[in-house]
Amino acid sequence: MNDLLKMRHVSVAYHTYNGVVQSVREVSFSIKEGQTVALVGESGCGKSVTAKSIMGLIKKPGQVSKESEIIFAGTDITKLSPAKLRKFRGKECSMIFQDALVSLNPTMKIGKQIIESLDNHMPELSKDVKRKRAIEMLQMTGIADAEQCLGKYPHELSGGMRQRVMIAIALITHPKLLIADEPTTSLDVTIQAQILKQMKILQKQMGMAIFVITHDLGIVADVADKVIVMYAGKIVEEGECREIFYQPIHPYTKALLNSVPKLNVTGKQMLQAIDGSIPDMTNPPKGCAFCDRCPYAMKVCAKYIPEERSASDTHKASCWLMDERAGRRRAENGKA
């Protein structure tokens, strides 16, 4: 599979009255055609800002650094003019958000909202063809009474139905990449599973890549080929889904996995919260940003940012524990 998206040294900063918030710091990763990649981390770690940077949606006071490269199908979207960027958005790459009720226009019928996307990107199609496509797309997202749905307002639909409508709007132009930012967070667990299953079915039918952004590692296991773990604006671990779930390396990834509720245990073991909070990103720590919360922190961690090291061709992490000298020190101190 070819690379569809290549992010190289992408940094995004927000200039505020309290200082410069370094939301995304030198992030590099890629997404292949047809692949599902999940970006995981706590709220405020830079996930949504990363997604917005791909869509060219960083607005002032936010700024993408000059060194950043966001190459989509061979084109650096950071260099596109506003007009070309508008064409790219929705046609090549679409995004769905957490809260469909906020994202949909409450005063406009569903049909008009879906067809509007075709008006923008495929104006050559006739009115009848656009309507037919809208009905087909709603049916593909699992809405049985699609024709009736066209005439309804968002508030007349359930949360799950609204999210399906959002998916229909995002996919009606057959984009190469669908970005789903916490797509099921506001839904109950059964509907979450249905929506994610439907997204995977549509992915197979349409051959697109999916970039899922979530704080919940639980939903990732069923959908992702590759998982990227982000903390304080940086990628701390990246690997195939099975590598992240069965051989996690970074203490933050392990803590995230422990924070997923388990069914076969009771008491404290069932749900382990991660103590502490993300550092102040107007003044990020000099060394590893997880240092204050990490049970394995060493002196070197507070002083120097760990380099990225590979555990396999597909699995890499940034943690001083991967340095062979850390193993020796721990053995000397009787911790190994």
Tell me how far, at minimum, the Cβ of 147 lies from ligand SF4, in Å.
54
Looking at the Cβ atoms of 260 and 297, the one nearer to ligand SF4 is 297
Torsion of CA 230, 235, 236, 239, to 10 degrees: 90
Alpha-carbon torsion (281, 287, 290, 291), positive or negative: negative
Task: Give the helix/strand (H/E) hosting 230.
Answer: strand 226-231
Using alpha carbons only, give the angle 174, 1, 168 rounded to the nearest 5 degrees: 20
Minimum distance of ligand SF4 from residue 79's CB (angstroms): 35
- Stated length of the chain: 336
Type of residue found at 132? K
Least Cβ distance, residue 305 to ligand SF4 (angstroms) = 8
Closer CB to ligand SF4, 97 or 252, in the complex? 252
Query: Smallest distance from the beta carbon of 37 to ligand SF4, in angstroms?
Result: 22
- All residues at 6 or more sequence positions from 148 whose CB lies less than 8 Å from its CB, including other chains: none
226 touches 210 (CB < 8 A): no
Min dist CB 226 to ligand SF4, Å, is 21
Measured from the CB atom, is 142 or 287 closer to ligand SF4? 287
Q: Which is nearer to ligand SF4, 208 or 257 (CB)?
A: 257
> How many Cβ atoms are within 10 Å of 147's Cβ, its own excluded?
13
* Closest to ligand SF4 by CB, 270 or 336: 336
Identify which of 179, 272, 278, 182 has the alpha carbon closest to the alpha carbon of residue 231. 278
47-72 b/e (C-beta count within 10 Å ≥ 16 → b)? bbbbbbbbbbebeeebebeeebebbb
Residue placing its CB nearer to ligand SF4 in the complex, 211 or 290: 290
Residue type, 265: V
Joined tokens for residue 327: 């193993």
Q: Which is nearer to ligand SF4, 227 or 288 (CB)?
A: 288
3-state helix, strand, coil in the chain (%, to 5): 40, 25, 35
| Helix ranges restricted to H, 172-286 | 189-206, 217-223, 241-246, 251-258
Minimum CB–partner distance for residue 248 and ligand SF4 (Å): 12
- Nearest approach in angstroms of CB 320 to ligand SF4 is 4
Query: Judged by CB, which is closer to ligand SF4: 229, or 301?
Result: 301
The residues of the shown chain that bind ligand SF4, judged by CB under 6 A, are 250-251, 288, 290-291, 294, 296-298, 301, 306, 319-321
Residue 326 CB, shortest distance to ligand SF4, in Å, is 7
